[in-house]
């Protein structure tokens, strides 16, 4: 494994920016009938929209396909869904780690616009230095500018950014890390890449909080006969190119456990409906589009299904639970026991 190429922009205290659109250009609102990139199917298997997970053509630089608009739409649903009860065992472990000058060092893998930091940093005590990893320089810039500046107890929070490939992490890439975090990352990794991540965390002796991995289950308030077919097709789409999709959390449990970590898993479901109609509509369009890409024979039935579901949303009657899982892996501290 090779160490990812990174471009550190230095540590700085970044003022808190509570809303999107304050870091460069404001995100444009999506067209009503469009599927925002990231909400729909990936154009090529084996790539996470915001993070290049494995090498493409030599020298090729592809545009990011995870739109800031999608990240903005989903941030409040992500924040509401994350399993806050995992924070107590995490705080206990962090309190028992050796103190480091400058405080806790947190590596946020595939940080996007930095929503994980905005959620987590104000929930942890003590000084923190966040290292934000992503392949998209615009998202890295936004994540840095919009990062929180204070921990739960008012301690300082600083930030640096690194652009590179998070799937090739090695233990030395996490030297000094006190915590690794990520959102919606595990399900776009292969089994080998998850083992690489587990090994890197074990080598650094740091815990990992990995949230919002798809669980492969969707429940509508009003069931439809096509729900099961679309769910199965979407799950198969998630597994294309050797990615784990809804199997990722089980694979991560096995990988971290094999490296000696204690693993905790909690549900973190999105609860969508008329209260977040724009997100619900975008998720629904993307979910159906991915299913049809996987099974084109569903196209005509799926078109009618989508129209009916969107009409149900417009009348305030659509409610859907999109199941995810959060995982906390407590690796043995370097030189200690779990």
pLDDT of residue 300: 97
When pLDDT is averaged across residues 133-160 and rounded to a whole number, the result is: 93
**Domain enclosing residue 165, as ranges:** 12-215+243-269+323-330
CB 264 within 8 A of CB 75: no
Gap between the Cα atoms of 296 and 290, Å rounded: 10
Q: In this predicted model, what pLDDT tens digit does every residue of 221-237 receive, in sequence order? A: 999 999 999 999 999 99
39: pLDDT strictly greater than 70? no
* pLDDT band of 6, cuts 50, 70, 90: very low
* pLDDT band of 68, cuts 50, 70, 90: confident
**Burial letters 251-282, b for 16+ CB under 10 A, else e:** bbbebbeebebebbbeebbbebbeebeebbbb
Return the closest-CA partner of residue 329 out of 270, 252, 216, 271.
Answer: 252
Percent of the chain with pLDDT over 90: 66
Residue 317 resides in a domain: no
CB 282 within 8 A of CB 309: no
When pLDDT is averaged across residues 255-278 and rounded to a whole number, the result is: 97
Structural domains counted in the chain? 1
Residue 306 resides in a domain: no
Residue 253 resides in a domain: yes
When pLDDT is averaged across residues 11-17 and rounded to a whole number, the result is: 30
Residue 275 resides in a domain: no
When pLDDT is averaged across residues 113-119 and rounded to a whole number, the result is: 96
Percent of the chain with pLDDT over 70: 77
Residue 70 resides in a domain: yes
Residue 294 resides in a domain: no
Residue 5 resides in a domain: no
Q: Long-range contact list for 331-336, CB < 8 A, 24+ apart? A: 331/201, 331/202, 331/204, 331/205, 331/206, 331/207, 331/208, 331/256, 331/259, 331/260, 331/261, 332/202, 332/205, 332/260, 332/261, 333/96, 333/97, 333/98, 333/205, 333/206, 334/204, 334/205, 335/205, 336/205
Q: In this predicted model, what pLDDT tens digit does every residue of 183-231 receive, in sequence order? A: 999 999 999 999 999 999 998 899 999 999 999 999 999 999 999 999 9
* pLDDT band of 176, cuts 50, 70, 90: confident
Gap between the Cα atoms of 312 and 280, Å rounded: 11
The residue with greater pLDDT, 167 or 95, is 95
pLDDT of residue 335: 57
Half-sphere exposure of 126 (CA within 13 A, CB side): 17
Q: DSSP code of 336? A: S
60: pLDDT strictly greater than 60? no
Question: What CATH number is given to the structural domain containing 185?
Answer: 3.40.50.150
* pLDDT band of 338, cuts 50, 70, 90: very low
Residue 83 resides in a domain: yes
Gap between the Cα atoms of 183 and 209, Å rounded: 9
pLDDT of residue 32: 54
Mean pLDDT of the chain: 83
When pLDDT is averaged across residues 155-176 and rounded to a whole number, the result is: 82
**Residue 185 Cα distances to 11, 27, 206, 210, 231, angstroms:** 25, 23, 18, 8, 20
Q: Long-range contact list for 44-47, CB < 8 A, 24+ apart? A: 44/241, 45/240, 45/241, 45/242, 45/243, 46/241, 46/242, 46/243, 47/188
Q: Pairing relation of β-strands 104-109 and 128-134?
A: parallel
36: pLDDT strictly greater than 90? no
When pLDDT is averaged across residues 56-82 and rounded to a whole number, the result is: 72
Decide: pTM greater than 0.85. no
Whats the size of the chain, residue-wise? 338
CB 129 within 8 A of CB 103: yes
Return the closest-CA partner of residue 208 out of 218, 217, 195, 219.
Answer: 195
């Amino acid at each position: 494994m090779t160490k990812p190429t990174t471009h550190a922009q230095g540590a700085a205290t970044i003022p808190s920016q509570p809303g999107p659109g304050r870091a460069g250009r404001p995100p444009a609102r999506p067209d009503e009938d469009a599927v925002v990139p990231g909400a729909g199917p990936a154009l090529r298997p084996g790539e996470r929209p915001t993070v290049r997970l494995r090498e493409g053509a030599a020298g090729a630089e592809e545009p990011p396909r995870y739109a800031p608009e999608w990240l903005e739409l989903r941030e409040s649903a992500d924040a509401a869904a994350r399993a806050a009860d995992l924070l107590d065992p995490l705080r206990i472990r962090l309190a028992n780690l050796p103190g480091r000058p400058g405080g806790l060092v947190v590596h946020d893998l595939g940080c996007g616009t930095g929503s994980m930091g905005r959620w987590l940093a104000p929930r942890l005590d003590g000084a923190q230095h966040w290292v934000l990893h992503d392949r998209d320089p615009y998202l890295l810039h936004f994540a840095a500018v919009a990062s929180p500046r204070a921990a739960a107890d008012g301690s300082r929070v600083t930030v640096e950014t690194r652009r590179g490939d998070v799937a090739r992490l090695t233990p030395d890439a996490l030297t000094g890390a006190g915590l690794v975090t990520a959102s919606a990352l595990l399900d776009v990794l292969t089994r080998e890449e998850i083992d690489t991540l587990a090994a890197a965390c074990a080598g650094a002796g740091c815990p990992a909080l990995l949230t919002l991995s798809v669980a492969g289950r969707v429940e509508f308030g009003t069931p439809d006969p096509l729900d099961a077919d679309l769910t199965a097709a979407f799950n198969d789409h998630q597994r294309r190119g050797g990615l784990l999709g809804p199997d990722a959390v089980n694979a991560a449990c096995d990988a971290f456990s094999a490296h000696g970590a204690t693993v905790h898993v909690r549900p973190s479901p999105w609860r969508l409906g008329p209260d977040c109609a724009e997100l619900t509509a975008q998720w629904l369009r993307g979910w159906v589009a991915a299913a049809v890409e996987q099974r084109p024979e569903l196209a005509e039935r799926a078109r009618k299904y989508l129209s009916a579901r969107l009409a149900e949303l417009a009348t305030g009657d659509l409610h859907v639970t999109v199941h995810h899982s959060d995982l906390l892996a407590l690796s043995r501290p370097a030189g200690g026991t779990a």
